[in-house]
Amino acid sequence: MAETETKLNGVNRSAIFLLTMGQDKAAEVLKLLTPKEVQQVGAAVAGLGGINHEMVDQVLVDFVEGIRGHTSLGMDTSEFVRGALTKALGQDKAGNVIDRILSGTDSAGLEQLRWMDARGIADLIRMEHPQIIAIVISLLEPDQAAQVLAALSEKVRADIAMRIATLEGVQPAALKELDRIMASQLSGNAQAKASAVGGIEAVANILNFLDGSTESAIMEQIMEIDADIGEQIQDKMFVFDDLVDLDDRGFQTLLREVSSENLLLALKGADEALKEKIFRNMSRRAAEMLREDLEVAPPAKLSDVEGAQKEILAIARRLADAGEINLGGGGGGDVYL
């Protein structure tokens, strides 16, 4: 069974479970997921191969055992929703989803933005007030938000980032009105949370997805505007060398997803501690080959090194979202979406 368990982590389990439901019921479940989750599950379904009865049985048994221990009978339904979503998505990610479900608010206009490309969103909001732009960007997933921010004029990026960092929340009525405006602007467009939004961590997550030069330029301007906020943002940003805090099991999972070319390029700008940890989590032969390649590799552009590091960080975040690793350390667990 060990071989089966190593293959079925996070999103793969969800993909197999959806396949057992049939198209109609699976479609109903997919309607409840975010665009990012739909893409993750869809990619997992498309990539599944060699599924056997043992694997399906294991997924179904695990699911039944899981719900048997977490039935909602005799429980307050709102508490069940909070508990289930928090366990599935984590405290931060579940917060906005829970608020939206339990408050019964509809955010059709803002939700549509999640399905648009970054350039289209930037074109849609670039003429709005900077505070409106900041709120809209803070409601997007960090990777999408980073692309939108990068698509805006260089003159306004730092101002928008500062506004996101100092956002403490948006009143329900204001968010509802913003949703109405977005829905109105999107109506007929073929391209196409009473929530706590923004904050230091939100802008840090967004900046993590930008290329090195854009990120540095924005941070430099933020530091000039407010050094204290700039330092708080830097403290929250997850950079390549922070991967040293990943546990060994998580590191091995990450390395299986990273190409040798990208790893070689990324390590050119890494701390020695991180390099040694990577070597320890590889086979002896693979570690020796990587050391030799690093010694003889020609110089590389800083932008290329940063680009490779960003790609590896993106893989790490994807694995963390799937519950396969824990970027805070301590190992990841299986998560049903």
Same domain for 264 and 252, yes or no, is: yes
Residue 1 is classified by DSSP as: -
The reply to whether 169 and 273 lie within a common domain is no
Q: List the structure tokens of 203.
A: 């802008």
Q: Flag whether pLDDT at 106 surpasses 60.
A: no
The whole-number pLDDT of residue 6 equals 40
Q: What is the pLDDT of residue 330?
A: 37
* pLDDT at residue 179, as a whole number: 76
My answer on whether 231 and 244 are in the same domain is no
Q: Which of 91-95, 140-144, 191-195 has the lowest mean pLDDT?
A: 191-195
- The per-residue pLDDT for 24 is 75
pLDDT tier at 243 (50, 70, 90 boundaries)? confident
The whole-number average pLDDT for the span 213-230 is 86
Residues 268 and 158 in one domain: no
Do 259 and 226 fall within a single domain?
A: no
Question: What secondary structure letter does DSSP report for 299?
Answer: P
Is the same domain home to 30 and 126? no
The percent helix, strand, coil of the chain (3-state, each to 5) is 70, 0, 30
Please tell me the predicted confidence (pLDDT) of residue 102: 45
The confidence score (pLDDT) of residue 186 equals 64
pLDDT band at 335 (very low <50, low <70, confident <90, very high): very low
Q: What is the mean pLDDT of the chain?
A: 75
Considering the domain boundaries, does residue 75 fall inside one? Answer: no
Task: Please state the domain count of the chain.
Answer: 3
* pLDDT on residue 176: 76
CA dihedral for 304, 305, 308, 313, sign (positive or negative): negative
Same domain, 191 and 244: no
Residue 249 is assigned to a structural domain of this protein:
yes
Question: Quick one: 53 exposed, middle or buried, by C-beta within 10 A (0-12, 13-18, 19+)?
Answer: exposed
Q: What separation in angstroms does the CA of 186 have from each of 46, 117, 122, 153, 197?
A: 31, 13, 13, 22, 22
Residue 1 has pLDDT above 50, yes or no: no
What pLDDT score does 333 carry? Answer: 37
Residue 115, in any domain of the structure: yes
Among positive and negative, which fits the CA dihedral 89, 175, 135, 236? Answer: negative
Same domain, 218 and 278: no
Whether residue 203 sits in one domain with residue 226:
yes
Q: In terms of domains, do 202 and 126 share one?
A: yes
Examine the fold and report which residue of 69, 100, 119 is the final residue of a domain before the chain moves on: 69
- What SS3 state is found at 178? helix
- Per-residue model confidence as pLDDT tens digits over 11-38: 778 878 777 777 777 777 777 777 777 7
Mean pLDDT value of segment 261-272: 88
Question: Can you tell me which residue has the tokens 């530091």?
Answer: 223
Shared domain check, 181 and 137: yes
Residue 320 scores a pLDDT above 60: yes
Is residue 196 assigned to a domain?
Answer: yes
Distance set, CA 176 to CA 104, 107, 114, 265 (Å): 12, 7, 17, 46
Contact by Cβ (8 Å): 214, 148: no
**Residues spanned by the domain of 197:** 108-236
Give which of 63, 105, 70, 110 is closest to 86, Cα–Cα: 70
Q: Could you tell me if 257 and 139 lie in one domain?
A: no
Higher pLDDT, 187 or 295: 295
Q: Is the pLDDT of residue 200 over 50?
A: yes
Backbone angles phi, psi at 301, to 5 degrees: -65, 145
Model pLDDT, residue 87? 62
Mean pLDDT of 122-138: 86
Reply yes or no on whether the pLDDT at 92 is more than 60: no
Among residues 159, 164, 236, which one has the least CA distance to residue 197? Answer: 164
Please give the share of the chain, as a percent, with pLDDT higher than 70: 74
pLDDT reading at 306 higher than 50: yes
CATH number (domain holding residue 307): 1.10.220.30
